[in-house]
Amino acid sequence: MTENSGAGPGPGALGSVGLVEDARNQDLIRRREAHMGGSMLFYRDPVHIVRGEGAWLYDQDGRRYLDCYNNVASVGHCHPRVVAAICRQAGLLNTHTRYLHEGIVDYAERLAGKFPGKLDVCLFVCTGTEANELALRIARAVSGKTGAVVMENAYHGNSVLMNELSTCVSEPGSRPPHVAAVEPPNTYRGPFGPDPGAGARYASLVDGAISQLNDSGGGLAAFLCDSIFDSQGTLEAPPDYFARVYDQVRSAGGLCIADEVQAGFGRTGTWWGFEHYDVVPDIVTLGKPMGAGHPMGAVVTSREILEQFSQRNVYFNTFGGNPVSAAVGNAVLDVFEDEALLDHVRNVSPYLRAQLQQLQQRHRLIGDVRGRGLFMGIELVGDRDNKVPDRNTALAVAEQMRDHGVLVGATGRHGNVIKVRPPLPFCVDNVDFLVEKLDRVLSARAGQ
């Protein structure tokens, strides 16, 4: 479950355990409840953030919080170049993609240039949900089939179709026939463990899902998978997993869609999460970090696939790829280039991993540390031998970290994985700050 659902073990559950009685900001909370319905609110004493800069967020009293949670502001909160790009273009022109515009074409060229193989056309949308929805539409049109294979406990968005494919909000048995879910390749607590043959064994589950779709789900249109497995608690799949699955999917006539809404734009130390697995998807979906806070998403695919889709389909998006969005997208890429952000992620992430692994040696509560780049999961367990997931501790740790001025989330199938996914300029000093606070919070819990 991700931050998008309040019902399960995402950090949304922090809000669902109820506000503390003396929560600050009572008036704002009341007004919010009156006119924003059940919209999710993090923390039992919710934070009132008024300003952001780099990896830091500031509340109304000027108290600062190290942001170890927000991947949208990937180049850092309120990066001056992004802010300037928005202001400049908003003062000049903002229409849509149906007039010629240099900035939009520049952006499409630059973005396409970041992809391997034949992935060279971009369709612009405004959210990750829209990107996945369009990707599925394309896959259905090209394959002539309707079904999709997804992971158990997946999150792919909030439209009708994406809600059906988001298995974190449904039980096995209650899903529509065009959805077939497989066990994610979790080498820590999955059924096949970290054995050398685990990649093949996890991949073989996809064959069963394809048969299920062929029997009663309208056949296979697509395999859709988040390359960093965020809602499964951040996984490193066996190296051969995706190559095997992609072969199986393509042999069955389906398309391979990499959901890079979480993993994309340098988060994992490569431009795209799928690059860790030496595969090239047929379709890639983008969102969150693409606009550093400005709503942007995209579907990237090959000309060949797009032409097949376009024979019988029309696609238009009023806001997607408008001149202001294109200016923002270009500014984000400028920051990546001029600040060598990808190199920065590659330099800092081994230090983050090593520090978290050292914490694991000191705290028996930490069963596993995993992830890639600046996207790490810290799995908390009742005891290491039987790996009982400790959701309550994960929720309490997230709350206590906030009291120590650090924002993290709790995620995963059992809600017991602390998620560390900060803005990418996160530096070595930030790592030390995070680890020192986490050490303190875990020590205090161990002493309870």
- Rounded to a whole number of angstroms, the minimum distance from the CB of residue 279 to ligand PLP is 17
- Rounded to a whole number of angstroms, the minimum distance from the CB of residue 158 to ligand PLP is 6
- Rounded to a whole number of angstroms, the minimum distance from the CB of residue 80 to ligand PLP is 24
Distance CA(48)–CA(31), nearest Å, equals 14
Q: Which residue is nearest to ligand PLP (CB)?
A: 128
For 57, the 3-state DSSP assignment is: strand
Distance CA(379)–CA(384), nearest Å, equals 10
E strands in 68-140: 121-125
E strands in 61-211: 64-67, 121-125, 147-151, 179-182
x/- mask, ligand PLP, residues 71-110, rule CB under 6 A, reads: ----------------------------------------
- Does the footprint of ligand PLP cover residue 415 (CB under 6 A)? no
Q: How many residues bind ligand PLP (CB under 6 A)?
A: 17
x/- mask, ligand PLP, residues 239-278, rule CB under 6 A, reads: --------------------x-xx----------------
Cβ–Cβ < 8 Å for 158, 126:
no
E strands in 227-360: 255-259, 283-286, 297-301
For 85, the 3-state DSSP assignment is: helix
- Does the footprint of ligand PLP cover residue 157 (CB under 6 A)? yes
Q: Which residues lie below 8 Å from residue 90, measured CB to CB, with a gap of 6+?
A: 324
Residues numbered 111 to 140 that lie near ligand PLP (CB under 6 A) are 127-129, 132
Q: Which of 1, 2, 69, 111 binds ligand PLP (CB under 6 A)?
A: 2
- Does the footprint of ligand PLP cover residue 287 (CB under 6 A)? yes
| Nearest CB to ligand PLP, comparing residues 3 and 399 | 3
Q: Which residues lie below 8 Å from residue 181, measured CB to CB, with a gap of 6+?
A: 149, 150, 151, 152, 154, 167, 172, 175, 209
Distance CA(246)–CA(222), nearest Å, equals 10
| Paired tokens of 159 | 């439209």
Q: Which of 67, 226, 282, 399 binds ligand PLP (CB under 6 A)?
A: 226
| Nearest CB to ligand PLP, comparing residues 2 and 212 | 2
Among the listed ranges 6-14, 135-143, 154-162, 325-333, the one in contact with ligand PLP (CB under 6 A) is 154-162
Among the listed ranges 20-28, 56-64, 153-161, 333-341, the one in contact with ligand PLP (CB under 6 A) is 153-161
Distance CA(267)–CA(91), nearest Å, equals 31
- Does the footprint of ligand PLP cover residue 1 (CB under 6 A)? no
What is the binding site for ligand PLP (CB under 6 A)? 2, 4, 127-129, 132, 155-158, 226, 230, 259, 261-262, 287-288
